[in-house]
Amino acid sequence: MLTRKQYELLVYIDNYLRDHGISPSFDEMKEALNLKSKSGIHRLITGLEERGFIRRLAHRARALEVLRLPDNNDDDAAETPANVTSIATARKAAHRPATVPSAFSDSGESVSLPLFGRIAAGTPIEALRDQTTMVQVPAALLGTGDHYALEVSGDSMIDAGILDGDTVLIQRCEQANDGTIVVALVDDAEATLKRLKRGRGEVLLEPANARYETRALSPDRVRIQGRLIGLLRQY
């Protein structure tokens, strides 16, 4: 069982990663937990790491990865402070993707990702597979695994903070949890950026704009091509 402070820190890191795409700084964690020094944060992180809840990514600043979350059962609930959002609630909450300006400091480490082309955030279009165009992305914005970038066309995801012309960063995957914004390939021909839901034997591709309708498709018509982890925006 985690201690009260370990649980608070784990929830805070998990929510921060989902909101910003990178882990919080030690100063931010110290302030969030109302601790007087960063040494307390170091001890809490070490404890979470030893228990297998998080890991530190080598040779990268602000690089923590949440590996698992505790079961929020009755015994754990007794240890959970009232002012901390529960794990289940935090997992279900809608979060906006991390946004960084397209012109970032050259002093920071960057990674080249293939820019496959334009993906519709309104009406599905065929995903382009041109790997000749690359985009530079801050390494701190990416986690483990394979990634690529797509340019957004349309306004159906504006309520999720995704605008026409944004460049979205996608982590390749074939499975995703409900509520995740994904690149979905429909009928092996069309790709679209939507929030994934499931219900009554159907896959639901849900927009984030009231002007658009949710598409309900049979599972055999939909393949997940990746999940949204962040975006770049030109100002």
Question: Catalytic site residues?
Answer: 156, 194
Cα end-to-end distance, the chain, whole Å:
46
Supply the DSSP symbol for 101: E
CA distance 110 to 129: 22
The Cα–Cα gap between 106 and 52 comes to: 34
Contact 226, 145 (CB under 8 A): no
Reading the block at residue 185, the tokens are 């390939």
Closest C-alpha among 152, 136, 142 to residue 103: 136
CA distance 32 to 8: 9
